[in-house]
Amino acid sequence: MAEFETVRRAAAGTRTQAIDEGLRAYMNKVYGLMSVAMVITGVISMLMAGIASTSDPSQAVAQLRNGVMLTDVGSALYLSGLKWVVLLAPLGMVLYLSSRINKISTATAQILFWVYAGLVGVSISSIFLIYTGESVASTFFITAIGFASLSLYGYTTKRDLSGMGSFLIMGVVGLLVAMVVNIFLQSAAIMFAISILGVLIFAGLTAYDTQKIKSVYLAMAASGNQEFLGKSAIMGALNLYLDFLNMFLLLLMLFGNRN
């Protein structure tokens, strides 16, 4: 009996170790996918900002209110009706990816994720024309520190954060409604309140999403379904990417120094 118990405990310890190693590899994959997406967004955003603006008055065809001169590309992206296509294209892509994730291959899902990250880069490229480069860099650095701390909390805490999910998602919907309303009101006070609440909401979502990603792996690790785990890693990376991106943009609106 004693020998049997020793063997049972050894087997249980081996399974636990295997799960821990698998979880670490899974989380590294999630963070890796998210990081690549952030690099794609950043590179595309800076390239588009460079193409869209000019310091040569002879090449300028339009000008932003802050005096930044725009090329033909910049005028089309930021001042024409095309700007709505640029703004809405990432939303269409993320909705398509989310709705089709169970019907497409893991490789296709990953490619769509990269495409989405590139579209986001185009849509937010104007931040490099509105805010100083130092401000964008410092805000990104602050966001990265905050995101890492919140994600680590979500990964390590024993507290069940699932109860926060519905509340936080309702908060995101409320933010979107408030932003749409403020397009017409153009209230600086409302925008300031939206930014403050938005940072808090996406901070909470960072911890919540990290714990959810971990829970999904632990629930599915025994199944050995690599296709599902691959897709869930992509969706987990997408969720964390959105949390980081929104925190960054909201903090930039709050504290960024404008050109």
Q: Over 83-139, what HEC string results?
A: HHHHHHHHHHHHHHHHHHCCCCCHHHHHHHHHHHHHHHHHHCCCHHHHECHHHHHHH
Amino acid 220: pLDDT: 80
Amino acid 130: pLDDT: 94
Which of the pair, 5 or 195, is modelled with greater confidence? 195
Interacting residues of 109 by C-beta distance below 8 A, sequence separation 6+: 97, 101, 230, 231, 234
The answer to whether residues 232 and 219 touch, using CB atoms and an 8 Å cutoff, is no
Q: What is the dihedral of CA 55, 59, 62, 64, to 10 degrees?
A: -10
pLDDT tens digits, 209-254 = 999 999 999 888 766 667 888 999 999 999 999 999 999 999 999 9
What's the whole-number average pLDDT of the chain?
89
Structural domain boundaries enclosing 118: 2-255
pLDDT tens digits, 6-35 = 434 444 444 556 567 889 999 999 999 999
Amino acid, res. 140: F
pLDDT tens digits, 145-181 = 999 999 999 999 999 998 888 899 999 999 989 988 9
Amino acid 246: pLDDT: 96
- The number of residues in the chain equals 259
The answer to whether residues 111 and 232 touch, using CB atoms and an 8 Å cutoff, is no
- Work out how many domains the chain is built from and give that number: 1
